[in-house]
Structures are given as structure tokens and as C-alpha cells.
């Protein structure tokens, strides 16, 4: 190993940590080892150094997941607002066509009334050869007047509707622009966090990457073991609903497909893209993001969960997986990984939600 290799790793941790702090202020990071002076003698990279890298990577990928949720939320809102603008535009077109028709009818009615009221009622009665015909025509005139009033009222109502549609479309457009900006900001943050993580990993040599992978697996095993040792699994005996079975089948059929932030299939997924599409396949549409899944879906106790339920992870609900039973989950972990099966307790559990409660 070249001179100052340990210093290179420590420097990488420091630099990437600084990038992460700028991207996510207020987040606590593992403190890297100090960079040795140029005169320091070469030393081997220890497990402590690799562990520092592992913790830093966890932070970077966690922050990327949070930003991905923000991106997905902004994208979903933008799609909804675009659809609303299209619907309002169609209403405006129909309203304009109706308004043109009403104006034409109103013009014809006004011309007819002008012709009819060219003489007073007394003069028309005196000139009429048939008084009954005059009375009948007077009745028709009254009907025409009522129809004209109704026409004018509908004309005014249509004009009011058109104004409201235009105001609504303008408001939706303003929201759409705001969400486009939010989406762009979130995209930039995701890309920064992932790039920082990849840069940090690229500083490691092959053997160090192997040791990093071992430490990551070890941390997951320890967390899963602690969760199982709590005795929670002996109380979990729920059976999947029919919709849950369909969702589980969909999710497990995606095993091996790559994680891609913002993706919802069919070739790649992020964590909530996988769970939302799995439940959509079961005829149960659910929110697109893990945070909204946590907010909107019914909460159930961990002891009561059944296959198909969704386990939400971390205090900020930034990750989601589907419970398979027997203490296992299927999920899309993070960039560079594929959809896989893991231990349900391998990450800090926030809670469990049920899409088909």
C-alpha cells in the first residue's frame, strides 16, 4: 500500500463529509480520523477506518433517500397539477363554445323581441282582426320573455364559470411551477449525495471494498439478530390477504432488478416505487413516497403485521420495504444495489402500515 494511504482514506471521509454537511445541514456525521502529516510513516488501513467510511456512506445514502422522497413527492404533485390544468382547459373550451351558442341565441331573441315590440299592446289589439289570436300571441310572448330571462341567467352563469376555470388554472400553474423548482432542487441534492458516496467508495482499493462489504453485512446481521432476540417474531403470525399475496408476488418477482432513484418499474425501482407498484398490481393504489405511505396508510402494531404489510424505516420515514413473513422483507435498498430479500430488523423500524386495512 502506498505512502499515506490511511491519510487518503481519512481525507476522503473529511471531504465527503463536508459535502454532506452542506447538502443536509444539521445532520450528525461520524468524525473521521485526523489526516497524518506528510512526514508520518505509512500505516495500514484498519477496520476502524473502513468502519468510518461505512458510517459516512450510510449517512450519504440516507440523505439521498430523503431527497429522493422529496423528488418523488414533487413529481407526483406536478403530474396531478398538470392533469388538473388539462381538465380545466377542456372545461374552458367547452365553456367558450357554450358561451358562443348562448350569445347567438340571445342575439336572435333580442331581434325577435324588437320586432314584436315595435307596436304597443293597445295598438296591436286595435289592429288585430282576431282578439283571441292576439291573446294567444301575448301568451307566447310572455313565455318568450321567461325563456329570455333564463337564457340571460345561463349566459351570466357560464361567464362566471369560465372566469373561475381560468383562475383555477392560473393557481394550478403557479403550484406546478413551484413543484418543478422543488423537483429540480431535490434532483440536484440526490445527485450530489450519490456522487459523494461513489467518490468516497472509489478511494478504496479492492480488498478494502471487500472489508467494507463485510462490515455492512455484519452491521445488518447484528441489527437483525437483536430484533429477533427481542422475541418479537414469536408473536407475528398474521396471514396475507388475497391482495397482499398479489403484492408480495409482484415485489418478489422484481428481485435482482437495479435500484434507481425516482424509478417505479418495470426495469428498475426505488424503495417506494417498488412498494407502490406492488400494491397497484393488487388493485390497491397507495401513495408514491414512503413518507406519504407512513402518513396516509393505516398503522398496525409490529406484532400484528402480515405478509404484504409495509415496514417504514428511520425516524423520517425515508425507507420502506414489504414484509414477506418469517422476519424477512423485500426491498430496493439504495444506489448500486438490486431489489433483494433482507432481515426485517436490519434497519431501525419506525412502524408498520397496511395498504388493504
CA 248 to chain centre: 21
CA 19 to chain centre: 26
Q: Which CB contacts under 8 angstroms, 24+ apart, belong to 288-291?
A: 288/72, 288/73, 288/75, 288/76, 288/264, 289/69, 289/72, 289/73, 289/76, 290/69, 290/317, 290/318, 290/319, 290/320, 291/69, 291/73, 291/316, 291/317, 291/318
The predicted pLDDT at position 136 comes to: 55
Dihedral angle sign, alpha carbons of residues 183, 184, 186, 190: positive
User: Is residue 294 classed as helix, strand or coil in its secondary structure?
Assistant: helix
Catalytic, 319? Answer yes
What is the DSSP pairing of strand 349-354 with strand 340-343? Answer: unpaired
pTM of the entire predicted model = 0.65
C-alpha cell at 241: 390477504
3-state DSSP helix/strand/coil percent for the chain, to nearest 5? Answer: 65, 10, 25
The predicted pLDDT at position 29 comes to: 29
139 C-beta neighbours (distance < 10 Å), count: 10
Burial class of 349 by CB neighbour count within 10 A (0 to 12, 13 to 18, 19+): middle
HSE, side-chain direction, 13 A CA sphere, residue 172: 19
The predicted pLDDT at position 117 comes to: 52
| DSSP string covering 1-22 | --TTHHHHHHHHHHHHHHHHHH
User: Is residue 259 classed as helix, strand or coil in its secondary structure?
Assistant: strand
Query: How many whole angstroms separate alpha carbon 70 and alpha carbon 291?
Result: 9
Cell 425516524 -> residue: 315
Catalytic, 271? Answer yes
What is the DSSP pairing of strand 349-354 with strand 328-331? Answer: unpaired
Comparing CA positions, the residue from 59, 45, 304, 344 lying closest to residue 223 is 344
Tens-digit pLDDT string for the chain (357 aa): 443 333 433 333 333 333 333 233 333 323 344 444 343 334 456 778 888 888 888 898 898 898 898 888 888 888 888 888 888 888 888 888 877 877 777 677 666 655 555 545 544 444 455 555 555 555 555 555 566 677 777 778 888 888 888 888 888 888 888 888 888 888 888 888 988 888 888 888 888 888 888 988 999 999 999 998 888 888 787 899 999 999 999 999 999 999 999 999 999 999 999 999 999 999 999 999 999 999 999 999 998 999 999 999 999 999 999 999 999 999 999 999 999 999 999 999 999 999 998
Residue 325 backbone zone (phi > 0: left; psi -120 to 50: alpha; other: beta): left
Cell 292576439 -> residue: 134
| DSSP string covering 303-314 | GG--TT-EEEET
7 C-beta neighbours (distance < 10 Å), count: 19
Catalytic, 299? Answer no
Amino acid at each position: 500500500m502506498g505512502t499515506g494511504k490511511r491519510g487518503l482514506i481519512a481525507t476522503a471521509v473529511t471531504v465527503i463529509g463536508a459535502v454532506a454537511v452542506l447538502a443536509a445541514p444539521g445532520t450528525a456525521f461520524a468524525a473521521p480520523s485526523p489526516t497524518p502529516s506528510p512526514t508520518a510513516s505509512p500505516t495500514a488501513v484498519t477496520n476502524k477506518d473502513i468502519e468510518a467510511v461505512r458510517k459516512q456512506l450510510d449517512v450519504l445514502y440516507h440523505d439521498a433517500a430523503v431527497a429522493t422522497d422529496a423528488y418523488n413527492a414533487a413529481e407526483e404533485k406536478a403530474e396531478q397539477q398538470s392533469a388538473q390544468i388539462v381538465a380545466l382547459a377542456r372545461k374552458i373550451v367547452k365553456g367558450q363554445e357554450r358561451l358562443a351558442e348562448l350569445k347567438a341565441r340571445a342575439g336572435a331573441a333580442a331581434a325577435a323581441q324588437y320586432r314584436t315590440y315595435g307596436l304597443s299592446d293597445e295598438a296591436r289589439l286595435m289592429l288585430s282582426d282576431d282578439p283571441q289570436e292576439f291573446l294567444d300571441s301575448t301568451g307566447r310572448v310572455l313565455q318568450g320573455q321567461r325563456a329570455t330571462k333564463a337564457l340571460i341567467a345561463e349566459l351570466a352563469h357560464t361567464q362566471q364559470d369560465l372566469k373561475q376555470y381560468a383562475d383555477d388554472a392560473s393557481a394550478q400553474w403557479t403550484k406546478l411551477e413551484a413543484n418543478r423548482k422543488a423537483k429540480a432542487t431535490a434532483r440536484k441534492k440526490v445527485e450530489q449525495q450519490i456522487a459523494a458516496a461513489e467518490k468516497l467508495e472509489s478511494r478504496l482499493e479492492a480488498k478494502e471494498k471487500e472489508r467494507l462489504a463485510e462490515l455492512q453485512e455484519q452491521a445488518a446481521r447484528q441489527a437483525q439478530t437483536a430484533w429477533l432476540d427481542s422475541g418479537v417474531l414469536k408473536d407475528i403470525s398474521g396471514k396475507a390477504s388475497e391482495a397482499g399475496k398479489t403484492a408480495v408476488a409482484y415485489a418478489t418477482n422484481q428481485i435482482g432488478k437495479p435500484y434507481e432513484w425516482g424509478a417505479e418499474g418495470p426495469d428498475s425501482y426505488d424503495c417506494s416505487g417498488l412498494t407502490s407498484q406492488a400494491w397497484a398490481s393488487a388493485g390497491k393504489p397507495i401513495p408514491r413516497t414512503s413518507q406519504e405511505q407512513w402518513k396516509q396508510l393505516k398503522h398496525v402494531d409490529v406484532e400484528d403485521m402480515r405478509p404484504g404489510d409495509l415496514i417504514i424505516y428511520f425516524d423520517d420515514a425515508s425507507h420502506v420495504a414489504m414484509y414477506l413473513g418469517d422476519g424477512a422483507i423485500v426491498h430496493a435498498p439504495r444506489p448500486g444495489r438490486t431489489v433483494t430479500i433482507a432481515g426485517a430488523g436490519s434497519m431501525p423500524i419506525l412502524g408498520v402500515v397496511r395498504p388493504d386495512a
